[in-house]
Amino acid sequence: MAVKKQTRKPSSRTVKDEVVRKDMERFKEKVVELGASAAEVIPASYVLVEERVRMKCLVPRCGALRDGGTPYCPPNTPEPDFMRKVFSQYRWAVMFKRDIPNVADYTVVSDAVRKERLANPVTREGFHEKTHDLVNQLESYVQSQGYDMALGFAGGSCKGNLCHGVKCGVILNGSCRFPLRARPSLEGVGIDVFDLANKVGWNTYMMRGVEPEPETIPCGTSIGIVFVY
């Protein structure tokens, strides 16, 4: 049986509006095929960048900042004004979510419990790890379709979700363990994720401090976004 090879489209900075909209719907369907629970095509103008969001990585201090942090965590991420300029050059993005039912696996725990989870292949996966993978896959697919400026972000730090809290390779020796998958988080560049979720009608819940009653939260939500055009 012959398998049709996916044609890689040449890059283009000028695409007709009707073509862009059709492609955006196709990219939305693609990320759901890859494993997202839901996806929406949104105007890039929906995205708000706030200094307050970036500051929440620092106060209270995120665990990803231990042992030197990462180049992709505040205060090393680009300044909010720079990110506003970047996002203003896009018109459309695909935003997606993953619903995560087992909230108790990701609640705040002691260092001893955290180490136990990391030692177990079943529970070591970070809350946002698959979301990082989906962002990488969708970004690569979109680029292969001619949108060379596609740019994706996922929730949560790459250190916590790809390196599982191990000291960052860039900090150690200048070499990232996941050069194509690692990237700043949505919140790390100041994107108000809760505001975005509200705009598309998705229910989200604050995870911080839910222990010892994780049952009060129906499910966790991990969000990713790929700016396309």
pLDDT attached to residue 165: 79
Angle in degrees, CA 222, 108, 78, rounded to 5: 50
| Structural domain count, the chain | 1
pLDDT digits (tens, 9 = 90+) for 63-115: 888 888 899 999 999 999 999 999 999 999 999 999 988 776 665 555 565 55
Residue 203 forms part of a structural domain: yes
Q: Domain of 132?
A: 35-227
Residue 11 forms part of a structural domain: no
DSSP state of 225: E
Query: Facing residues of 49 across strands?
Result: 191
pLDDT attached to residue 212: 47
Mean pLDDT on 199-226: 79
Percent of the chain with pLDDT over 90: 64
pLDDT attached to residue 106: 62
Instruction: Kindly report the average pLDDT of the chain as a whole number.
Output: 87
* Whether the predicted pLDDT of 183 surpasses 60: yes
Mean pLDDT on 51-66: 90
Beta strands 92-100; 38-43: pairing state: antiparallel
pLDDT digits (tens, 9 = 90+) for 115-165: 565 555 444 456 789 999 999 999 999 999 999 999 999 999 999 889 987
CA 134 – CA 97 distance, rounded (Å): 10
Residue 59 forms part of a structural domain: yes
Backbone angles phi, psi at 107, to 5 degrees: -75, 165
Residue 191 forms part of a structural domain: yes
Counting every residue, how long is the chain? 229
pLDDT attached to residue 62: 86
CA 52 – CA 59 distance, rounded (Å): 10
Residue 166 forms part of a structural domain: yes
CA 114 – CA 61 distance, rounded (Å): 17
> End-to-end distance of the chain based on CA atoms, in angstroms?
36
Residue 158 forms part of a structural domain: yes
Residue 23 forms part of a structural domain: no
pLDDT attached to residue 153: 97
Burial (CB count within 10 angstroms: exposed 0-12, middle 13-18, buried 19+), residue 1: exposed
pLDDT attached to residue 3: 47
Residue 16 forms part of a structural domain: no
pLDDT attached to residue 77: 94
